[in-house]
Amino acid sequence: METQDLIQWLLKEGGPVIRYRTIFELGGSRTLSGDELLLDTLLQAEKTRWLLEQMDLFGPITHVDIRVLNALHGMKPTCLENVIPRLLERGLRAGVAAFDEKIEHFRQYVDNPLVHRALEKPEPTSVEEGRALFIATVLASYFLRGGYEYDEIIQFVKHRMELLSQLAAERNYDIHMSEAELVGLPRQWVGKPIIRPDLVPTHGGRPLPLIHDIFAFAYLPAVFLKDQNRQQLEDIVAYVTDERYQTFPPGYGYIWPETNRQVCYACGWNLDLPDLDSDNPYQQRKIVQRMELLAHFPAARKSPWFQKGMQILETYQTERGTYNFPSTYLVEMKAGYYVGGEYMGLEDNRRNPKTLELESTFRMLLLKKRIA
């Protein structure tokens, strides 16, 4: 089957999510009445309703202690970090009234005094301000991915781009403190990689990029980019796709805050590219998600990792032209991190023997469209 034949096959055989996303992202045939009926079916699906309901459980950000952070960030399917991107995966975006109404309340997660103070400081922030900046970075990526172009979101993302480009332009991969600088480090963290204070991803100095930054840049409309922004973005993409970057430990390592020298905090998430030759399911379930993300950037598409990834995915084309990836490439887990590739399912009926083929084919067509 050719591309248009595959699109028609997805529209005929797919469930509500695949049909809806095929229409709006792959250019499937559409009629206004048909679109409204399909959207209503999608919104009435049990999983969609449940995810939308979770968004009602979060109030405004006034402080960020560990309880607030754990509600937003973690492996639970109820964590906001997992709820909103799963709705985006289901095709919800700007213009879907049920989603518009709920996501509007989270603008304050990006635009609040804690975030403003963190961005204004060239020196390391407090733990609370760092957490607030992390949350803002995560939410900003969701707004842009959903097509919400609020001014405060755009300005936040461009500010992050400017900050991140400083380290990237230097091509500085010496990100950990030396043994001499670690005098006084509590015994339980001796031997662990401790990030240099001025490079911690969640402050306003010369931060390392979070994977959520890369998601935000991927969906930042080009109309908002000036020449200097394009150079900044090019430097950042070159930095995170460099082989030296890929040798960093998970999450870059640990943060040793100057405000409390008795503890260290785990950092995360860096843009870790999975080992394409590994048979480890943890590595394999990140492959398609990372491919979809890097496909947004011309420089990243030229990287050896991306080129090899495309070659591997092409080996799963069937005789009739559809695709059928290994089941470990597209998983839908009961708990896990979205950025770990652990909520990649599009079809609600995971037992349908066609599910994997439908999802694989949709993902591959989307990849090819982005590349084109």
The reply to whether 63 falls in a domain is: yes
The whole-number average pLDDT for the span 331-360 is 95
Residue 218 structural domain? 46-272
Percentage above 70 pLDDT, the chain: 98
Contact 266, 194 (CB under 8 A): no
Q: What angle do CA 8, 14, 15 make, to 5 degrees?
A: 140
Query: Tokens 């970057």 label which residue?
Result: 245
Average pLDDT over residues 44-53: 97
pLDDT per residue over 159-190, tens digit each?
999 999 999 999 999 999 999 999 999 999 99
Cβ atoms of 220 and 144 within 8 Å: the answer is yes
Identify the pLDDT of residue 32: 45
Q: What average pLDDT does this structure show over 333-354? A: 94
Question: Could you give the residue ranges of the DSSP H alpha helices within 121-275?
Answer: 127-145, 151-170, 211-219, 227-240
For the stretch 239-249, pLDDT in tens is 999 999 999 99
Assigned domain for 87 exists: yes
Closest CA to 260 of 129, 126, 131: 126
Residue 230 falls in which region: left (phi positive, over 0), alpha (psi -120 to 50) or beta: alpha
Tell whether 105 is covered by a domain: yes
Whether residue 343 lies inside any domain: the answer is no
Residues 304-327 have a mean pLDDT of 97
Asked, for residue 277, whether it belongs to a domain, the answer is no
Alpha-carbon distances of 97 from 46, 51, 103, rounded to whole Å: 18, 15, 10
Average pLDDT for 311-340 = 97
Beta bridge partners of 194: 254
For all residues of the chain together, what is the average pLDDT? Answer: 94
My answer on whether omega of the bond before 256 falls inside 30° of 0, hence cis, is: no
- In which band, very low, low, confident or very high, does the pLDDT at 287 lie, cut at 50, 70 and 90? very high
pLDDT reading at 347 higher than 70: yes
How many helices (H) and strands (E) would you count in the chain? 17, 2
* DSSP letter (8 states) at residue 45: S
Query: Per the domain annotation, does 172 fall within a domain?
Result: yes
> What pLDDT sits at residue 33?
45
Task: Return the percentage of the chain with pLDDT > 90, whole number.
Answer: 90
**Confidence band of 37 (pLDDT split at 50, 70, 90):** confident
Distance CA 14, CA 349 (A): 10
Classify residue 108: in a domain, yes or no.
Answer: yes
The answer to whether residue 329 is domain-embedded is no
What global pTM score does this model have? 0.95
Q: Is the pLDDT of residue 92 over 70?
A: yes
Q: Is 362 helix (H, G, I), strand (E, B) or coil?
A: helix
Number of domains in the chain: 1
